Chains A and B, each alone.
Chain A
Amino acid sequence: MTDDNTPPGQTPAALTCTGLTYAFGDGAKAVDGLDLSVASGEVFGLLGPNGAGKTTAIRCVTTLLPVPAGMVRVFGHDVAADRMGVRRLLSYVPQQLSADSSLTGRENVSLFARVFDVPRKERAGRVAEALEAVGLTEAADRMAGTYSGGMVRRLELAQALVSSPRLLILDEPTIGLDPIARTSVWEHIMAVRAASGMTVLVTTHYMDEAEQYCDRVALMHKGRIRALDTPHRLTDDLRERRGDGSSPTLEDVFRDVAGSGLDEEGGEFRDVRRTRRTAARVG
């Protein structure tokens, strides 16, 4: 069951979304006709303000929200038809801090080794390697409840890595972290990716991070993609269009494509509140 659009002899895209649409009970479309294709090995950023629909899109990809067949494929596997196959290929780090604070770091990672069917004789070794990859070897046997926000994020990264995912999905991995912890989280992500060649799909509303670390980005606003390219080309394009010699940032590009109303409507109250709550838990 490979991707229909894949030319012969080429690996299928890590992720393709075709007209991905999702509406919650109230009928409003949180994601509205999303089209994108993430190449294997790429670091792809889904950017947008709070309430843009990033988390909802990701929850569709991770099989948490039901989508019709044909909308989302992960390495050629249709999410609607082959949930278990898709789940074996990806690891997901949600927006909230999701490590179990009443277990040690090592036990947290070990649980994920078990639920991904790592054989017993490999388990301890894999868990140790995953912890080492995120720099938590020393702290591994402390309770996760005593970790700082940045350490919890790295622990979650270790939980995600222990199953050797081909697609790593991170939802706002650096939200609420201080600049040093943010850099550290990103450096661990990039080091692991360089070593393993896995594909990374990441959401963020920090444009500077996306500019620095993502190969390509999609700018999302109100459930739709407004622009999609390398950060470099997006800023170059805007500079040419402006032609006033200024050097615009990704944030400027965003303001340009989202049009007016970004400040007033970018995220309803509950989205802001939810983000703040996460930030408080992380910080």
Chain B
Amino acid sequence: MSAVPAAPPPVSAEAGQGLLFVPPRARPAWRLIPARVVAMCVVELQKLRHDRTELYTRAIQPALWLVIFGETFNRLNVIPTGGIPYRDYLAPGIIAQSTMFIAIFYGIHIIWERDSGVLTKLLVTPTPRAALVTGKAFAAGVKAMVQALVVLVIAALLGVTLTWQPLRLVGMLAVVVLGSAFFSCLSMTIAGIARTRDRLLGIGQAITMPLFFASNALYPTASMPSWLQVISAINPLSYEVSALRGLLLGTPTNLPLDFAVLVVAAALGIAAASALLGRLAR
């Protein structure tokens, strides 16, 4: 780092420790949450930069869904999509699905961090529980944003005609971050209750598929049996898919409602996960 000195410095190693003698000043409380969100997102980006294999392996599943499922149902032409080719209709659903999977399994990552002591140590820093959870939720969002862009590119390569309007793409990223914040907090909440990795893995697998099928990701709500329609209506994933379709394909949707549902869901998720996070440390 520093230039090589002409002669070895006569002073001891401690002479360089000027900065370490003064403790950092506390930040005003209102700046804690944004500061921690930045810290957690930076870590997530650093990890992505070091190891990109996850980026590639996570691209396989959505590609298969679009190629096999999308192509087959494109031909069968049995799903009423309102005149859109089925593969186009499916693409936003797959963006939502694949980012949800990443977020749900983020809770496992939290348990791993607990077991390895990383989380324990973060819990002893001047970071309120809510700030830590919000930070982790947005860090999961960073992962999801990258995934959404990857799926977008795959879809484009497969000939899906999605929008490339910058404002709509920003909207897509915002939707994906909010959705991931909710699902990662759901997962952290379950982690706080289940407390072990195996149990969480089981619960995670048990809930992701129902969440996926009880949403409009694969087919419009109107073609579901009525009991499933009720579940779909309270499933935040449906609002995420709806918003993504509206933004990327221009299908009719109530964007303010979609955003409102996602914001409220994320806020509730953060509150629940913050309340249970302390349990993980015990």
Contacts and interface: CB of A to CB of B under 8 A. Distances in A.
A143 B46 CA distance: 11
Given A87-B124, A107-B43, A122-B24, A98 B117 contact: yes
A81 to B, nearest CB: 15
Contacts of A92: 120-121, 124
Contacts of A163: 23-24, 125
Interface string A89-125: 0111111111110111001000111111111001001
B282 A65 contact: yes
Nearest to B127: A115
Interface bracket on A: 35 or more
A166 B20 CA distance: 11
Contacts of A249: none
- Judged by DSSP, the binding face of A is mixed
B24 A116 contact: yes
Contact of B116 (A84, A97, A112, A195): A97
A195 B23 contact: no
A228 B280 CA distance: 33
Question: Which of B17, B20, B26, B116 has its CB near the most chain A CB atoms (within 10 A)?
Answer: B20
A107 B46 CA distance: 8
Nearest to B119: A98
B118 A100 contact: yes
Contacts of B21: 164, 196
Interface bracket on B: 35 or more
A232 to B, nearest CB: 28
Interface of A: 59, 62-66, 84, 87-88, 90-100, 102-104, 107, 111-119, 122, 125-126, 128-130, 132-133, 137, 143, 159, 161-166, 191, 195-196
Given A104-B50, A126-B19, A191-B13, 9 more contacts: A63-B124, A94-B121, A103-B47, A111-B39, A115-B122, A117-B25, A122-B24, A126-B20, A196-B20
27 contacts: A63-B124, A64-B282, A65-B282, A84-B126, A87-B125, A88-B23, A93-B121, A96-B120, A103-B43, A113-B24, A114-B39, A115-B122, A117-B24, A117-B26, A117-B32, A117-B126, A119-B24, A126-B19, A129-B16, A129-B17, A132-B17, A143-B50, A159-B121, A162-B20, A163-B23, A164-B22, A196-B17
